[in-house]
Every structure is written in structure tokens, then in C-alpha cells.
A and B are shown apart, each in its own frame.
Chain A
């Protein structure tokens, strides 16, 4: 927190007042992207369809993909995967469910897909934790 606070201070001190945003130009667009992030945080375990999200929040596909990355530094899908894996880590630590149950509960379509995704992020397979 101290290092990030200092970084924030330095960023502000060096800040020019020009606007270098490429994709999110209006406050209303920014608000929509924040609402989408909140929606994903609550619904990461359900199937995510970008087209449905665009319709639900009244935003176009280009703005969703690029605006989301611009503000949150990750793609929409990357964000969802990260939420799923974070949730799976908690469930693995609790040791109440087996790997297949955790995979389905966190939104994965198969345990194999979950294990592959888990290993890519954490460098070990879920079975090494469970």
C-alpha cells in the first residue's frame, strides 16, 4: 500500500492535464464498464456471453472489449477467469468439495478445462493443493 500510494503520488505529480484515453471518453461509458465489472464479480460462475453483456448494458462490442481493458487492464474473459480461479483457490483450501465439484461450481464446463486453466495461472495443478 505504501509503495502504491507513493506511485500514485508520483503519477499525479507528473500528470499533465491532457486526456490520453483512447476508448473510454464519456463518464456514462465509464459507469457502464464499472457496472459490467460488478456484474461479472457476481456472476462469474455462470456462462458469460459478450453479446448478451453488450445488450444488457447498452454498450457496443468494440467499446466493451477495449474500454474494459483500458480501465481494468485485463480482457473481460481474463477478468472472469481470474475470478473463477480465485474462487476455486478458496474452495480448494476449504477442502469440502472435490476438484470436479469445484470446477462446475466456479463456472468451468469440465474439470479438465479447470485444471488446465488453474495450472496456467498458479503453476501447479489443483490436485496438488487438494
Chain B
């Protein structure tokens, strides 16, 4: 099942990505880089996926007033969202939560299906995300002997959950790590590693 972006008012689909949970488990690194326009904005949307990981980066340049759109994401993953630039208002249907977020904030959430409404002010907004299949998420948790309070337990029970009701501050080491990912100069197998 794909990821679909549609217009909040007109309800017409303006972007579809035929990504699926199966495709996300590809042995090889798959990269996509797309540009599309909607309302008064244009968006660059990059995706990388392999072996239970999905990384995505969207840069939205909104030249006029507020833009509002919906995203339907049927990919069953644990999602880490990093709002790197620009304020946004985000609402998650499955979690029954609404947030007003600022640049430099992150959060993580899980829902096997996620319907999101996003509202951006005029200007540039940038959002990076790391998404892990449940299998990959638990494998990393086990390997690192990590604990995420009740979050991982809810993921295990396949119940929608958000890590924090207040979006957290992106610290410099997180920023540096994302920056390294986005500026990786390697290609093909070396890049996947």
C-alpha cells in the first residue's frame, strides 16, 4: 500500500509513493528523489529504503499563504520525525493528538497506519524521518539492550503510541548524524552500509 498526499480541501491526490512494507525490506538500497507542486508550494521528497529501514527527507518551499494537506501512510513502521526547519501544525488521527511544532524538534511514534494533517506557514520547512519495521525496531532494541519506557511495549502490542506529548529538542549530535546521512557521498552498496 502506498503513501498518499492529498489536498485538504479539494481532496485530490497530488502525490503517491508506491512504497510497501515488503519493498522496505529490500536487500539493496533503493533511492527516490522527486519534486512536485501543490497549492502555492513545491516539495522535494527524497526516500531511501533497505533491510527494514526507511529514511525520508522533505523540503517544502511555500511561497504564499498557509498550505494544508493530508498524508495517508500505510507502511507499518516505528516512525522518528525530526522537524529540522520551519514551524508546523500536525494532527495524527490514530493517536488523537494535535501538535504545534517548531524547528529543531523531534518525536517518535508508532501506528500501523497513520493519517496525518499538516499545516505549514509561508516559508521553507524541512522534515527528516527514520522509519523502522517492527522487526528491525525490536532487533535494534535487543542488540543495544535499550529501554524506551512504555513505548516499545505499546509497539509490541501493536497499539498506536507517541513517545512524548511534548516534542523534544534535537540536540547537536542528532543534527550531525542526520546531516551525515543527507550529505553521504558514497553510492550503491557503500552508501547502504
Contacts and interface: CB of A to CB of B under 8 A. Distances in A.
Interface of A: 1-15, 17, 19-21, 24, 27, 30-31, 34-35, 38, 70-73
A27 B104 contact: yes
B181 A5 contact: yes
A71 B181 contact: no
Q: Which of B130, B148, B191 has the most CB of A within 10 A?
A: B130
A4 B177 contact: yes
Contacts of B141: 13
A71 B55 contact: no
B130 A5 contact: yes
A13 B132 contact: no
Contacts of A21: 169, 171-172
Interface in B84-116: 84-87, 102-106, 108
A24 B172 CA distance: 10
B181 A4 contact: yes
Q: Is the interface of B mostly helix, strand, loop or mixed?
A: mixed
B126 A11 contact: no
Q: Which 4 A-B pairs have the closest CB atoms?
A: A27-B102, A13-B146, A27-B103, A8-B177
Given A9-B140, A11-B173, A1 B103 contact: no
Contact of A12 (B108, B172, B175): B108
Nearest to A69: B172
B3 interface: no
A42 B39 CA distance: 26
21 contacts: A1-B50, A4-B184, A5-B130, A6-B140, A8-B80, A8-B130, A8-B177, A9-B132, A13-B144, A13-B147, A14-B146, A21-B171, A24-B104, A27-B87, A27-B103, A34-B84, A34-B103, A34-B124, A71-B175, A73-B176, A73-B179
Q: Is the interface of A mostly helix, strand, loop or mixed?
A: helix
Given A11-B177, A13-B148, 14 more contacts: A2-B51, A5-B181, A8-B181, A9-B144, A12-B108, A15-B168, A19-B171, A20-B172, A27-B105, A30-B104, A31-B86, A31-B123, A72-B175, A73-B179
Contact of B193 (A1, A10, A11, A14): A1
Nearest to B180: A4
A88 to B, nearest CB: 15
Contacts of B123: 31
Contacts of A8: 80, 130, 174, 177-178, 181
A3 B178 CA distance: 12
Contacts of A27: 87, 102-105
A9 to B, nearest CB: 5
B169 A17 contact: yes
Given A1-B53, A20-B171, A12 B80 contact: yes
Nearest to B141: A13
A57 to B, nearest CB: 13
